[in-house]
Amino acid sequence: MGYVNLDAQHPLSSGLTSESRLVRAYQGDRPEVTPVWFMRQAGRSLPEYRELRAGTRMLDACLDPELASEITLQPVRRHGVDAGIFFSDIVVPLKLVGVEVEIVSGKGPVMAAPVRTAADVAALTALDPAMLDEALAPVEQAVRRTVAELARVDSTGSSPFRSGTATPLIGFAGAPFTLAAYLVEGGPSKDHIAARTLMHADPEAWARLMAWTADVTGRFLRAQVLAGASAAQLFDSWAGALSLSDYVRYAAPASARAIGHVRDLSYSLPARDQAADPETVRRSVPIVHFGVGTGELLQAMHDVGADVVGVDYRVPLDEASRRLGGNVPLQGNIDPALLAAPWPVLEAHVRDVLVRGRTAPAHVLNLGHGVPPETDPAVLTRVVEFVHSL
């Protein structure tokens, strides 16, 4: 595979984030302190977020570079987490490519018209994903703005980061199956039966739909990395609705195609030895693959080209590591429900997750899903401080 070198000013290439706890862990090098961040850390659990978002629709906020950047930074400032996760939504590239979609409060993404037939698929896939190269400009601006700010976050001597490192930003996108499920269902669904029906009833139309969603979401992810994100996460919310055989046949090839949009991006570590072969210090941008209810799919999710596998709260990390052969870095997997439990209960749970995470080459502490909106932000801060103190 050919490589595309990141710009010399990229945080990974310049060394700003390549030695951060997060990137080291994603690369399989266990740091002295376990890195921690939370899915959906930027959002409804923060009063400053609710104040900032008042009167602004979700997708409008995602496409406002100043607003998206500030929302991304809020939990980094408040909690002292080891990474920022870019504030956006998985349907942003769908909207930018021309799909009529809105995020309805209390419900989620809703399409103006579901994609149910081969004719519907043909009409949708006539929209050229290449138009995103220009349409994603607001996203790229927001990422660049955020990366510049993260390099300055907590520059005091009390910083939890190594001297000379910056807080890395994680870019993210929805996996092709999850995007396809939204498109076919027309919105959220409990069983995704319309999507699974199309998958089996018209495999050719399904394959065209999946290839298209892979290129749309892959370009979205690539744009974030090129603009300065130090890692990429593919988020498959609905893959747990699939059997292993259906996932491997009907979803995994498209996820591999999406990841392929960033798999070739690489950087070289600053050479300590002037005579060192540049290839010996070349690294790829780390890629995380996470799904919900995907305990039976972990190996298949790794096989699509991911470096790190995110694990939800249903499977203990030691069991997940066993299923992955014991050689894959893991991310996860505090049960979000325990964030509202008494501190001794939550502390014991966090300790248990950390112990089980020791069975993997490296571990990034996270939730087994997103932060619930009603979570007390002080609890998240306390978890970060506790993990960093160990």
> Which sequence positions are flagged as catalytic?
40, 44, 53, 89, 182
Give the closest residue to 233 by CA, choosing from 221, 242, 244.
221
Contacts of 6 (CB under 8 A, 6+ apart): 12, 13, 225, 226, 265, 266, 267, 285
Confirm or deny that 43 is annotated as ligand binding: yes
Which of helix, strand or coil describes residue 147?
helix
Confirm or deny that 41 is annotated as ligand binding: yes
Residue type, 136: L
Confirm or deny that 40 is annotated as ligand binding: yes
Please spell the DSSP secondary structure of 248-308, one letter per residue: IIIIHHHHHHHHHHHHTEEEEPPPSSTTS-GGGGEEEPPEEEEESS-GGGHHHHHHTT-SE
Confirm or deny that 27 is annotated as ligand binding: no
Which of helix, strand or coil describes residue 365?
strand
Confirm or deny that 239 is annotated as ligand binding: no
Contact (Cβ atoms closer than 8 angstroms) between residue 90 and residue 178: yes
Q: In what order do the strands lie in the sheet with 84-85?
A: 84-85, 169-174, 231-236, 287-291, 308-310, 330-334, 363-367
**What is the residue whose two structure tokens read 């499920």?**
181
Confirm or deny that 369 is annotated as ligand binding: yes
Cα dihedral sign for 270, 273, 278, 281?
negative
Contact (Cβ atoms closer than 8 angstroms) between residue 312 and residue 295: yes
Confirm or deny that 237 is annotated as ligand binding: yes
Neighbours of 243 (CB within 10 A): 12
Q: List residues forming the annotated binding site.
A: 40-44, 89, 182, 237, 369
Q: List residues forming the annotated binding site for substrate.
A: 40-44, 89, 182, 237, 369
